[in-house]
Amino acid sequence: MKGSRPVIGITTDLDKGHNSIEAEYAEAVAETGGLPVLIPTVSESGGMHAETVRLLDGLLLPGSRDMDPKYYGEEPHEKLRPMSLDRTKTEIEILGQAARRKIPVLGICGGMQLLNVFFGGTLYQDISSFLPDAVGHEKGALHEVKILDGSRLGNITGKTGFTVKSYHHQAVNRLGKGLKATAAAPDGVVECIESENDSSILGIQWHPERDLGDPVSEKIFDYFIQECRKRSARD
């Protein structure tokens, strides 16, 4: 029998033999009513990832290091930074299972970029190299985000724009199939992606888990947990 909290899987990094992730992700899930479960970075074996996802009501893809550009058909740029090779492989396998089951997925920062690539999109490997007039997007730089009218993010937050802190040097370039961009920085850099035909996919480029006391951040996690709770009730 399932408990009252939806089970949210959170993918993790593999660093020097340890699986780990920043504590804020699990704390944000727990504080908004979910049951966080960490998913280790391990090689697929005998359908293990499918079994893992069958236990979940939702999936959270956290921020990460750079993705290997081979996943979107490009050679590494000179400003590509350290990559999470094993983690990316595991996340793509887990995300594939989540997409088959149509459970809600929230991608944050690098997790949003992974979502875009998974659905066939591409990335700017380094914003400053490809978009030299871009506003600052690294080291907690502040910038405005404008939200598309009628978007899911607009409905969630009740706002048309707000200020965020950025911690990324890569960004969505060509959108993946079935996704739409629903928020952007003043320079046009995509700040939110959503699935076009249902409510299962939401990608956020900034870090709401780091500022859960902010009403906008809390509403994003509240929405995600509510969607996961609905999915749990259908099983």
Does residue 1 lie within any of the structural domains?
no
- The string of pLDDT tens digits covering residues 92-135 is 999 999 999 999 999 999 999 999 999 999 999 999 999 988 88
- The CATH number linked to 128 is 3.40.50.880
Does residue 46 lie within any of the structural domains?
yes
> Phi/psi of residue 203, each to 5°?
-120, 130
109 is catalytic: yes
Nearest to 66 by CA among 89, 40, 94, 85: 85
- Residue 87's domain comprises 7-234
91 is catalytic: no
The active-site residue out of 109, 137, 168, 192 is 109
Predicted TM-score (pTM) of this structure: 0.95
Nearest to 10 by CA among 18, 149, 1, 28: 28
Does residue 33 lie within any of the structural domains?
yes
Does residue 120 lie within any of the structural domains?
yes
Does residue 130 lie within any of the structural domains?
yes
Q: Residue 181: enclosing H or E segment and its boundaries?
A: strand 179-184
Total tally of structural domains belonging to the chain? 1
At 1, the pLDDT band (50, 70, 90 cuts) reads very low
58 alpha-carbon distance from chain centroid: 12
- The string of pLDDT tens digits covering residues 41-92 is 987 777 899 999 999 999 999 999 999 999 999 999 999 998 889 999 999 9
The active-site residue out of 91, 93, 209, 227 is 209
The active-site residue out of 137, 143, 169, 207 is 207
